[in-house]
Each structure stands twice: as C-alpha cells, then as structure tokens.
Amino acid sequence: MLKDNFEAVEAKIQAACKRAGRKRDEVTLIAVSKTKPIPMLREAYDLGNRIFGENKVQEITDKVDALPDDISWHMIGHLQRNKVKYIIDKVELIHSVDSFRLASEIEKEAAKKGVTADILIEVNVAKEESKFGVMPEDTIELISNISNLPHIRIKGLMTIAPFVDNPEDNRIYFRRLRNLAVDIGENKSDNVTMSVLSMGMTNDYEIAIEEGATMIRVGTGLFGARSYR
Ligand SMILES: *Cc1c(COP(=O)(O)O)cnc(C)c1O
C-alpha cells in the first residue's frame, strides 16, 4: 500500500514539474510521518525514502534513535524554545522559525554544539489568525535581525496554506511566498539565501510545484489519514 502511494505521488510530482517546465530534481519530497509508527517509516525507508518530516520533538528523537542514520529529518512543526536543545544537531532543517526569540535560542544551542543550523522562516502568508508564522510585512525585518546570528543560515521560506476544498484557491498564497523570497533575495546578506521554498501539502502540492516550491511536505497522501494532529 505504501508503495502504491509513493508511486502515485511521484507520478503527480513529475506531471506538475512537466507542466511548470521544471526539472524533477528541483523539488524535494518530504515524507511527513508524524503520528505514524516506526515500522511504517521503516517500510518507507526500504522503498528508498530518506527524507522524513516530523512536528514533535519527542517523536523526532524517538524515531532518530530507532531508524538508520542516513535519514534526513526535517522539523516542520511549531518549536518551543525549551526543546531546541534536543533536536538542534539531529535535524537537517528547521522549517518553522517565526520569531527572533526562537532564533536566538537556536543560535545559543547551535553554538554550544559547534554546529550551524539551517532554518526556514515560516510566513503566515494568508494572515490566518489560527496560524503560526511571521506576517509577510514583518518578514524582511525578522530576516535581517536573524542574519546577524553566526550559527544560523537562513535557507528560504516556508508556509502552511489555508485548508481549502479547491487547491486552486491557494495558488495566490504560494505565488506571494515566492515573490517575497524574490524580494528578499535581491538584497541578501551573508547568512541568507532564498534557495528553498517549502510549500504544498497533500491537498495542494501540485499547485505549489507549479508556483515554484522546492520542498513539498506530504503526509496523508503517502501514509494515509491520521487520527489526530
Ligand atoms: C502535517 C503537516 C503536513 C502534511 O500534511 P498532509 O495534509 O497530511 O500532507 C505538512 N506540513 C506541516 C507543517 C504539517 O504539520
């Protein structure tokens, strides 16, 4: 069953890349395995998947310990400052930085461990009250402040688009995130590149690819429905 899902998603990614005139290798699939049991991740691993997305610190550390170490783990969920220390040297990329306070904590823990942390800035591009993320108009200032922190590299932007019935409705938000990245890229500093655009989930990743996503985060479409979160 997982095999069929991975093949179906892969076919859709390829079709979307083709429509957009993009190369398949411009888009990285992050298999969002939150709430799913370790044997299921192992099955995805055996199918060749090496990139997993999780949103809870405890779950990441449990899964890191239980699975092979050639996996790259992506923290895609809201991160509490007091938990940064548990994952700072375990994850490839933190997608969900939306405040200077959180970035400062990441800086502190990265310095302690002697690593440089790669992060994305989470932008609340649709300005939804229920969502985390920095407002689009505050993004440039936040990035310029974080760019002074020596143990952090800002690699791009991330957004969680609204939950909609028709994924076409989210095209405008994906386009806005890309335009924001272009604006920021034009006056970038040393620790900042805008090479990553993390946008698109099961419901809307094909649209996100058409609008320039370089990372898509797909859970349900690969692992099936979750009973919570
Ligand atoms: C759960 C989650 C996803 C995956 O959602 P699906 O709709 O199951 O594909 C992607 N991004 C974030 C930030 C998530 O929390």
For residue 221, report the distance from its CA to the centre of ligand 1, in Å. 10
**Amino acid type, 109:** E
Closest approach atom of ligand 1 to CA 205: 9
Residue 149 has pLDDT above 90, yes or no: yes
Mutate to test the pocket of ligand 1, among 12, 30, 55 (most ligand atoms within 8 A of CB): 55
Q: Is residue 131 classed exposed, middle or buried when 0-12, 13-18 and 19+ CB atoms within 10 A define those classes?
A: middle
Q: For residue 63, is pLDDT > 90?
A: yes
What is the C-alpha separation between 104 and 107, in angstroms, rounded?
5
Read off the pLDDT band of 1 (50, 70, 90).
Answer: confident
Residue 55, classed as helix, strand or coil, is coil
Pairing of β 51-54 and β 93-97: unpaired
What pLDDT does residue 173 have?
Answer: 98
CA 168 to chain centre: 21
- Measured between alpha carbons, how far is 223 from 198 in angstroms, rounded to an integer? 19
* Rounded Cα gap, residues 229 and 222, in angstroms: 16
Which of 217, 222, 227 gets mutated to test ligand 1 (max ligand atoms within 8 A of its CB)?
Answer: 217
Q: Which two tokens stand for residue 41?
A: 């991740």
The reply to whether ligand 1 has any atom less than 6 angstroms from the CB of 217 is yes
pLDDT at 229: 59
Type of residue numbered 115: V
> Can you give the pLDDT at residue 199?
98
Query: For residue 194, what pLDDT band results from cuts at 50, 70 and 90?
Result: very high
In angstroms, what is the span from residue 112 Cα to ligand 1's centroid? 31
Q: Kindly indicate the confidence band of residue 189, based on its pLDDT and cuts at 50, 70 and 90.
A: confident
- What is the pTM (predicted TM-score) of this model? 0.97
Instruction: Give per-residue pLDDT as tens, 5-54.
Output: 999 999 999 999 999 999 999 999 999 999 999 999 999 999 999 999 99
Q: 47 to each of 3, 5, 12, how far by Cα in Å?
A: 7, 11, 18
Binding site membership of 5 for ligand 1 (Cβ less than 6 Å): no
Residue 223 predicted with pLDDT over 70? yes
- What is the reported pLDDT for 43? 98
- Give the model's confidence band at 89: pLDDT under 50 very low, under 70 low, under 90 confident, else very high: very high
Residue 152 near residue 190, CB atoms below 8 Å: no
pLDDT computed for residue 186 by the predictor: 85
Query: Which protein residue's CA is at the shortest distance from atom 12 of ligand 1?
Result: 76
Does 227 score more than 90 pLDDT? no
Compute the distance from residue 126 Cα to the ligand 1 centre, in Å. 16
Query: According to the model, what pLDDT value does residue 190 have?
Result: 80
- The label of the residue with tokens 């991740």 reads 41
SS3 content of the chain, % helix, strand, coil (to 5): 45, 20, 35
Spatial separation of the C-alpha atoms in residues 54 and 30, rounded to whole Å: 10
Q: Are 201 and 158 in contact (CB under 8 A)?
A: no
Rounded Cα–Cα distance for residues 41 and 136 (Å): 35
| CA angle in degrees (0–180, nearest 5) for 119-122-128 | 170
Instruction: Tell me the mean pLDDT in the region 118-124.
Output: 98
Q: How far is the CA of 76 from the centre of ligand 1 (A)?
A: 8
Residue 188 has pLDDT above 80, yes or no: no
Which string of b and e fits 17-26 if b means at least 16 CB within 10 Å?
A: beebebeeee
